[in-house]
A and B are shown apart, each in its own frame.
Chain A
Amino acid sequence: MTRTLTDEHGSSTASPQRTGSIGLFNDAVAMTRRNLLRLFRTPQVIVFSTIQPVIFVLLFNFVFGGAIDFAPGVTYIDYLVPGILVQTSLFASGNTAIGLTDDLQKGAIDRFRSLPMRHSAVLIGRTNADALRAALTMTIITIVGFLVGFRTDHYLGLLIGVLLAIAFAYAFNWVFAGFALYVKSPEAAQAGAFLPVFPLVFAASTFAPVDQMPGWLQPFAQHQPVSVTVDAIRALTRGEPAATKVLQSLTYTAAIIVVAVPIATRKFKRS
């Protein structure tokens, strides 16, 4: 046996970490690719995570469509689609927690941590891939919305609205990444992830106008991030002035990212 594991010239031994953001970018791309490959090889996960919001669109539209009072000229489906987009972004974020805890249990994270890579790329790759997945789901929901009567004259507004929802999803992916690192088991992640999601999604303007809710709930329901984002997307799809609401939504998104990213990253480095 004459070959050696170590290259004699020393040149092709893995170089110590590349400097700066190039290394991080390279690692984040590799990790995103890995997670997307895994995702597309489990089509049943995509199907189920798409069917659920589609059922919500159909159910809420046909069940509540006639019961809720709106301003004249606004159909419920037009009201509903922006809400479902944001609801989807939050529900989809739970997948970040499940995927990450799964990797932890199977030893994949250990392998990554033993490699000379930027470890934050593990979390970046996970949150990126899940944001792309949310984008795919949102596209399908919008198409289904159109099929059951959703109409808008403001396609650019709709596009901006969807992007807003994706950014919102991305921020919550980080929240759930941090959550996953604390709970560690996929079962706990699955059970726990939805606890904060339900009040955020339902005590909001997602499915029904806030002014029909009890007085004590209204201040929260009106100003919490889900409502602000849903309202922004509604305004965008109706061609109403939306700048303030869009800015508020982006501020929420940015604030969540600023808080969640360091918490998740620090927890990852220490665990």
Chain B
Amino acid sequence: MTSMISVQGLSVHFGALRAVDNIDLEIPKNQVRGLLGPNGAGKTTLVRVLATLLEPTSGTVTVGGHSVERHPNSVRSMIGLAGQYAAVDDLLTGRENLEIVGRLYQLPKTEARKRADEALERLSLTDAADRLVRTYSGGMRRRLDLGASLVGRPEVLILDEPTTGLDPRTRLELWAFLRDLVTEGATVLLTTQYMDEADELADRITVIDTGHVIADGTADELKARVGGDLVTASPKRRADLARVAELLTDIGSGAVRVDENQLTVSVPVDARVDALVRTAQRLDEAGIELSDLGVQRPSLDDVFLAITGKVGSDTTAPTETKRHRGRR
């Protein structure tokens, strides 16, 4: 298995701040890797190194076997970068934006035009192709930005928080386009602070915080670290809570948790369906009325909370991006 992206012992320091501190990361060809972390975790710094925008303080970083330091132009012709700040030109039309990027990928004029048209078509921007970008909505700008990253037909796609700041509906819409892209066999590095986004799009997830890798695995593996599935029952009457807890004790594989405020009783289980059926039968036989009963997988939010002690989408953390980008 050869790595498309190989990061060994990477550190990036800005003065006293260790934005990235001795990170190792291997991403095989055709894998979609989610890089998950809160603001200030070092995601953007890592992306900037991979995109040849920032030199490592120390460590070795290669993309497709090319060193980002020694052969940046070879790296640049392999990658497509789409960023959270959507670097598209307001005063140009969508098509002009993409054509110019195509020309800068060293494509001949006709090819640049053809690729621009293709990208516009794929991202459903054909109707808006000849409008100035300043008339675009936020979602359209992100799509155009994605389109710009596709013009060079990159083998490696770097998506830096592609949906940050979008409203939920626009995010879902963008996910549909992203899902298409990531299933097409490119190697993708996707940074995000949204657990559901990583869960939805990535094959494998690396969790980073304060410049370190703190966990790595598939979404299922990470969830397994928090514990298995959870059967949760909510009795209608508060008086039944204790009785429900007692009945669930020998169904679970761990301790029963009672939440007095939410009126729920939950217990970790191994065989989710079997456990759910037995719980339902037992509570029914005991004549306890329920308002809800279900089995849940822990979310990546739970995972993040369990590993770092912080909530994933914490937006109050200081951002390292402000320090070296100037904006956003």
User: Which chain A residues border B83 with CB–CB below 8 Å?
Assistant: 107, 110-111
A116 at the interface (CB under 8 A from B): yes
Other A-B pairs beyond A14-B107, A184-B326, 11, CB < 8 Å? A1-B183, A7-B153, A14-B105, A14-B106, A26-B103, A29-B103, A105-B327, A107-B87, A107-B328, A110-B83, A116-B76
**Within 8 Å CB of A239, what residues of B?**
none
**Residues of chain B within 8 A of A13, CB atoms compared:** 77-78, 152-155
Where the two chains meet, the residues of A that have a C-beta atom closer than 8 Å to any C-beta of B are 1, 3-7, 12-18, 23, 26-27, 29-31, 33-34, 37-38, 41-42, 104-108, 110-117, 184-185
When chains A and B are docked, how far (Å) is the Cα of A184 from the Cα of B324? 11
Residues on the A chain within 8 Å of B86, using CB: 107
Contact B104 A117 (CB under 8 A): yes
How far apart are the CA atoms of A26 and B14 in the complex, in Å? Answer: 36
Q: Is the CB of B87 within 8 A of A116?
A: no
Residues of B within 8 A of A12 (CB): 111, 153
**Interchain CB contact under 8 A, A30 and B73:** no
Given contacts A7-B153, A13-B77, A37-B96, contact A108 B89 (CB under 8 A): yes
Distance in angstroms from B159 CB to nearest chain A CB is 13
B81 at the interface (CB under 8 A from A): yes
Chain B 58-87 near chain A by CB (<8 Å), digits 1 or 0: 000000000000000110111101010111
Contacts of B89 on A, CB cut-off 8 Å? 34, 38, 108
Query: In the assembled complex, how far is the CB of residue B108 from the closest CB belonging to chain A, in whole angstroms?
Result: 9
Per DSSP, are chain A's interface residues mostly helix, strand or loop, or mixed? Answer: loop
| Interchain CB contact (< 8 A) of B100 among A7, A30, A106, A113 | A30
Question: What are 28 of the A-B contact pairs (CB < 8 Å)?
Answer: A1-B184, A4-B184, A4-B186, A5-B181, A6-B153, A13-B155, A14-B153, A15-B106, A27-B104, A34-B89, A34-B96, A34-B100, A41-B92, A42-B91, A105-B326, A106-B85, A107-B83, A107-B87, A107-B327, A108-B87, A108-B89, A110-B53, A113-B53, A114-B79, A115-B101, A116-B77, A116-B152, A185-B326
User: In the assembled complex, which residues on chain A have CB atoms less than 8 Å from the CB atom of B148?
Assistant: 111
**Which residues of B are found within 8 Å of A110, using beta-carbon distances?**
51, 53, 83, 87, 325
B23 touches A (CB below 8 Å)? no
Question: A5–B29 Cα gap in the complex (Å)?
Answer: 13
Nearest chain B CB to A116's CB is how many angstroms away? 4
A117 CB → nearest B CB, Å:
4
Closest Cβ–Cβ distance, residue B202 to chain A (whole Å): 17
Instruction: Quote the shortest CB–CB distance from B239 to chain A (angstroms).
Output: 55
Min distance, Cβ B97 to any Cβ of chain A, angstroms: 9
| Minimum distance in angstroms from A49 CB to a CB of chain B | 16
The DSSP consensus for interface residues of chain B is loop
B residues near A (Cβ < 8 Å) are: 51-53, 73-74, 76-79, 81, 83, 85-87, 89, 91-92, 96, 100-101, 103-107, 111, 132, 148, 150, 152-155, 157, 180-181, 183-186, 325-328
CA distance A12 to B103 in the complex (A): 13
Partner of A111, one of B78, B81, B150, B185: B81
The residue of chain B having its C-beta at the shortest distance from the C-beta of A109 within the complex is B87
Are A5 and B186 in contact, CB atoms less than 8 angstroms apart?
Answer: yes
A11 and B58 CA atoms in complex are apart in Å by: 35
Residue of A nearest to B105 (CB): A14
Known: A13-B77, A17-B77, A105-B327. A115 touches B105 (CB 8 A): yes
Contacts of A18 in B (CB 8 A): 106
Which residue of the partner chain, among B92, B152, B325, contacts A14 with CB atoms under 8 Å?
B152
